[in-house]
Amino acid sequence: MAEGMRKVYLDHAAATPILPEALEAMLPYLKDVFGNPTCLHSWGDGPRDAMEESRVRVAALIGASADGIIFTASGSEANNLAIKGIAFAKQTQGKHIVISAVEHFSVLQSCKRLERWGFETTLVPVDKYGMVDPQDVAKSIRKDTILVSVMHANSEVGTIQPIKEIAALVKNTGAAFHTDAVATAGAVPVDVKEMGVDALSLAANKFYGPKGAGALWLRRGVPVIPQVDGGVQEGGRRAGTDNVPGIVGMGKAAEIAAVDLKRRMEHMVPLRDQLIKGLSERIGQVVFTGHPTQRLPDTASFCVRFVEGEAMLMHLDMLGIAASSGSSCTSRALKASHVLIAMGLSHEIAQGSLLLTVGKDTQPDDVYYAIEALPPIVDRLRKMSPLHTKFIKEQGEVR
């Protein structure tokens, strides 16, 4: 990217810029207020009080009680603790777990790990929009099912799942219900009581807090076995010296997100819709992915036929535009997204995935810049694509 070039950041699904207020709140705990919150002397008092205040703020963002919040280092760790921790705690009741086919890899691979220890996983399919049918979840539950996990929303395609309906069907089955809300907490209204879930994961870097701070909320009475042993931190549920600055930054970002949520959504939805409309009108052979209405307010996702997603990203970056192709956790894997494959797309189409996510500070001019920049890139790449050449030739022969 050339120096002085316009910069447009449309990859908020991967990371959001930290709020100045969150950074300012963190600074004292990186300098003078450095004590360990587990210590009994006065140097531990300030950090400990700050952590508990942050616990209240994070809990308030999701309509939860503070005593259910377990701070972690990321959303992925929160998912690992939920899946493995609850499964091990309930294994005397059964060893069957139900998850959706579009879960984040931190859930999918946690289940794979559990399978090596004798657990069994059932994958619930999704429709062409990436949506889970609650009845499919209900049909997958058995007498030995101890845990069900369905993400609140998928960050690759933006589809928001009917969590409340699923929770109602899981209730009274004996299984705990976990939802990965990393993509939604701080982005759309999230209330654990209204949703009816037993456990929920979230991460600070998704709502303008610092990286390296996440949390798992557990409903009172839901058992969990720690996955990090060796200390009494987080009520004995997660050992290790507390990341006090990160937790404080997460708490401040959560407090601000709760207040600004409606305004942020109202700002982002028109920009998201303009991206979807503008790119769909200007580029042929584009497959829009995700649910058309039940979707995250910031997410515009496509598959551009005859072009690889990585090639589009590199050309966009040369024009100062940051975007993504699938999940940030798999963007360097150069493989077709398991989410898109589960939605019924072919590997050839899925390889052309493009994800553009706006933020609270994105402006209309940023969106227009991206809409104008991408079509020439696609045209240039398609001229080098043998698949596109073959398609054009076949179209000509049909005519």
Fold (CATH) for 8-15+261-398: Aspartate Aminotransferase, domain 1 (3.90.1150)
Strand partners, 286: 304
Strand partners, 188: 185
3-state secondary structure of 287: strand
- Tens of pLDDT, residues 173-200: 999 999 999 999 999 999 999 999 999 9
Separation of alpha carbons 124 and 134, rounded Å: 10
CATH number of 20-257: 3.40.640.10
Separation of alpha carbons 399 and 395, rounded Å: 6
Residue 172 has pLDDT above 70, yes or no: yes
Separation of alpha carbons 329 and 290, rounded Å: 19
Q: Can 8-15+261-398 and 20-257 be said to share one CATH topology? A: no
* 185 residue type, one letter: A
- Map out the domains of the chain as residue ranges: 8-15+261-398, 20-257
What's the confidence (pLDDT) of residue 383? 87
What's the confidence (pLDDT) of residue 334? 56
Q: Mark out the alpha helices in 196-243 (DSSP H runs).
A: 233-236
3-state secondary structure of 348: helix
Cα 365 to chain centroid, rounded: 26
Cα 277 to chain centroid, rounded: 24
User: Stretch 20-46: mean pLDDT, rounded?
Assistant: 94
Residue 329 has pLDDT above 50, yes or no: no
What's the confidence (pLDDT) of residue 384? 83
The overall average pLDDT reported for the chain is 94
> Which position among 39, 111, 303, 329 bears the catalytic label?
329
Active site residue 329: yes
Beta strands 299-304; 286-288: pairing state: antiparallel
Separation of alpha carbons 320 and 57, rounded Å: 36
CB neighbourhood size of 20 (10 A):
9
Separation of alpha carbons 352 and 227, rounded Å: 37
* 280 residue type, one letter: S
Lowest mean pLDDT among 134-143, 243-252, 319-328: 319-328
What's the confidence (pLDDT) of residue 336? 85
Q: Contact at 8 Å (CB) between 379 and 388?
A: no
**Phi and psi angles of residue 262, each rounded to the nearest 5 degrees, phi first:** -60, -45
CA atoms within 13 A on the CB side of 84: 21
What's the confidence (pLDDT) of residue 127? 98
Residue 98 has pLDDT above 70, yes or no: yes
- Tens of pLDDT, residues 38-57: 999 999 999 999 999 999 99
Q: Which of 205, 251, 157, 153 is nearest to 14 (CA)?
A: 205
CB neighbourhood size of 250 (10 A):
32
Give the whole-number percent of the chain exceeding pLDDT 70: 93
Residue showing tokens 């890899």? 105
